[in-house]
Chains A and B, each alone.
Chain A
């Protein structure tokens, strides 16, 4: 049941990305090109998502537990550090070069074009490389984090 539900939620997400235009790299890049062929559509995607997710989260997180699990898995509250700044900025550069982000590229796979696949293979390699590096950093720091 959790697996079927996740499949359906994935379908809702993929439909939203496609309808919103985030699966199209040209549209994403034009969102960032304020000095050129600006297309503000993606601001509406984010606004629409936050308008639903904001109140939705407030309502849901008041409950004791989710339907298929014993607790809500929320990220631990951590400080704002250089890793967050650097990582997010690096991601932005990657996003701005080709117009693909993880959440846009996965649904774009369904359009059966090669570009999203190439992006996702390289992105997976990047994630695995980063994990190696983070593992080594964690080893060096020991139990401080």
Chain B
């Protein structure tokens, strides 16, 4: 089966790796191999001689793959990043979605397109989920610190929760700062005075 493409997916997280593999399988009968271990990454990939390597753009280990762009041995095939220079739009979409692909030199662009489209869609979803998670966590952290500052004010000044919040909000507005910043400063100061 010379038609089958050999694809390596570099991904530590097992659940994510499975999702990527699933979406790639929908595009055809490929030979997919997941590498989750990052030591000697370039050597592990070179041993597999894949046609295509997919890796998260934000993975620091990605720099190890740059070595693959230089064929250092007679048995090794040089790989180029992305499909080719002509398909800049797809490359740009991939970067925005957070996936990078290394493709063996000479592989025809049309054979990769559907795979890349699937990978881009999948990584785009991961990217969105991650941003949402970060935003949610930040909101929770802010909420926690504001609650603590309210508690400090209620005890120190003998006021109720609404009055404490109003005081924080007024101070923030007067100083042109965020409520969370004022709360954080108050909590730090209180910890120092303890």
Q: Do A and B come from one complex?
A: no
